[in-house]
Amino acid sequence: EQEPEPCPPPEPPKTQPGAPPGPTRWGICSAGAISHDFVVALKTLPPSEHTVAAVAARDLGRAQDFARHFAIPRAYGSYEELAEDPDLDVVYVGVVNPAHLPVGLLFLRRGRAVLMEKPMGLGAREVAQLVGTARERGVFLMEGFWTRFFPAWRRLRTLVAEGALGSPLLLRGALGFALGGVPRLREPGLGGGVLLDLGGYGLQMALALLGGGSPPSLWAHGVLHETGMDWDKLGGKTWCFWGEK
């Protein structure tokens, strides 16, 4: 059999017109675990391409600890101070889900490019408000689905676009994380639930591979936790389907 073509190499970074020379200067909003993981990943890239210039948390002490750990030059005790920092190119927002809208708006209204940790918002209305503000201000806004940048993902999309896999009609996926002991997933006030935590991975893949655009119809099946969040006894599952039905 013919050997499959290798996955394409990573794309080189693109320089935006009018951007200052040198690495992309990141601000980190929140000093929590997800921001920690993001900076760990970012530091695997050449410092000539990316650098973390500042971090902010609601507690200055946490921001300072985070800054010391990663050798970040500036630490702030409020998100507003980070939004006013003139020496940033983009801000990574890693706050808890319910804060994505107000914190995202804070940076976008200051003309800051934003990489928003998923989910971008708690629903379509919040996402529409963030997107509308970004377009109004003419700034970059993206939801942080890192899997979209895997070479294997780009290769899969190319195969589908070329018709090498026929006409895909069904995507079936599973995520096996033991998250039953994570309190935030059970709490409506923290934007909990399987769909807003990990379920988005399957949905974004289906949207990208099964024709794109909005599905003509959408229906879902799942089990609810006693708090009202989508859940089940095995740690949380939600099944979503769409089509012409």
Active site residues: 118
Q: Which of 119, 94, 76, 88 is nearest to 29 (CA)?
A: 94
Task: Assign 3-state DSSP to the chain and report helix, strand, coil percentages, each to 5.
Answer: 40, 15, 45
For the chain, how far is it from start to end, CA to CA, in angstroms? 40
Report whether 180 contacts 207 (CB < 8 A). Answer: no
3-state secondary structure of 28: strand
Chain length of the chain: 245
